[in-house]
Structure 1
Amino acid sequence: MDPLLKASNDWDLATFVAQYGLLFEASPWVAERAWHSRPFRTREELLECMSAIVMEADESLQLELLRAHPELGAKVRMTAESTEEQRGAGLDRLERDEAYIFGRMNAAYRERFGFPFIIAVKGLTADMIADSMQKRMMNTAAEEKTRALREVCRIASFRLEHMGADPAAS
């Protein structure tokens, strides 16, 4: 069995939340709820549980989760996880004109949908992200909220992949 899961199945609530609370941006409530479904046999099972919690949460909690994400390419304070993810996509190195365009697109997206554009940036370039944002602007509000929540779950899956067994090390 995965050493992380073997250990986490025995953790108290506080330790479990300390380890997994960062999977979903500034939303430890997801880990708190998942703790009650232990034991988990695989990381996939844990992620499925947490994703179901997110998808079945009431709309106010879902919107709170979506709004906790930083805008892509923005020079704002964000979690270490988001900083690293954006750095990996080159969003920390945008030229001034690119940063301006991202800023305008982010503002238009937020105005239309009420939350920031969210996409799992792993493996994507700034151009690919901008193209996705333009395409997704055509979605209905309901379609886009569902898409954004799915992207949040993908981000959590990437974060979970990189976790070790020691909650103090993550």
Structure 2
Amino acid sequence: MPPDALTLDEINALGRDAFVARLGFVFERSPWVAAAAWDARPFRSRAALHAAMVAAMWAAPREQQLALIRAHPDLAGKAAIAKELTAESTREQASAGLDRLTPAEFARFTELNDAYRARFAFPFIICVREHTKASILANFVERIAHSPDDERHTALGEIAKIAALRLNDAVRE
């Protein structure tokens, strides 16, 4: 847990702007999720805070959900190479070894990223902290056969998992 992690009491005491400034990163480049969850205060647990944020995500209009999905980078993609990932995405991708791919692995990730984007018009999302390179690649292959609506739903579920892990890092019970 980072030394600057806040307690739930500290989180609950924050005004809306400070709350969003502190937790807006939890959902990749989408601080609107934190802003929408703020009204659910006070949070009795980190799980309740996460539930409020996830509820805000699911309640959002479809286009806003798609914008949230599209705010995520490709795995081992151009943004990673250009060092344009958020600090959280950089750490998460490194945790699965995506920053240390062989040329063949990189080529496979590029091929799958391109095929996935062509099919769904958004990046492949998976909670990489729960996976290895091999299991990520297997999920890519399996999920590319999903329908667009099923895959949107799956991507949002993965985003919720990512958010839970980020909250665990940022908020002390």
Tell me if both proteins adopt one fold, taking TM over 0.5 as the criterion. Answer: yes
> Runs of at least 4 residues of structure 1 off by over 2 A?
none
Can you list the C-alpha shifts for 1:58-109, whole angstroms capped at 9, x where unaligned? 0111011000100011141110000000000000000111101100100100
Partner of 1:107: 114
Partner of 1:73: 76
Kindly indicate whether the alpha-carbon contact (under 8 Å) linking 2:46 and 2:171 is maintained by their aligned counterparts in 1: no
Gaps of 5+ in 2: 1-5
Gaps of 5+ in 1: 166-170
Aligned partner (choices 143, 155, 160) of residue 162 of structure 2: 155
Give the number of the structure whose residues are more often helix, by fraction: 2
Partner of 2:142: 135
Amino acid paired to 2:42: P
User: How far apart, CA to CA, are the structure 2 residues paired with 1:143 and 1:119?
Assistant: 14
Amino acid paired to 2:33: V
Kindly indicate whether the alpha-carbon contact (under 8 Å) linking 2:116 and 2:123 is maintained by their aligned counterparts in 1: yes
Partner of 2:45: 42
Amino acid paired to 1:15: A
Amino acid paired to 1:142: D
Can you list the C-alpha shifts for 1:118-166, whole angstroms capped at 9, x where unaligned? 000113111110000100011111100000000000000000111146x
Greater alpha carbon shift after TM alignment, 156-165 vs 15-24: 156-165
2:16 aligned with 1:13, yes or no?
Answer: yes
User: How far apart, CA to CA, are the structure 2 residues paired with 1:52 and 1:110?
Assistant: 26
Structure 2 length as normaliser, TM-score? 0.91
Give secondary structure in 2 for the equivalent of 1:139: coil
- The structure with higher relative contact order (CA 8 Å, sep 6+) is 2
Amino acid paired to 1:141: P
Give secondary structure in 2 for the equivalent of 1:9: helix
What is the number of residues matched between the two proteins?
164
Partner of 1:30: 33
User: How far apart, CA to CA, are the structure 2 residues paired with 1:5 and 1:94?
Assistant: 38
Aligned partner (choices 124, 139, 155) of residue 117 of structure 1: 124
Amino acid paired to 1:131: A
Amino acid paired to 1:113: F
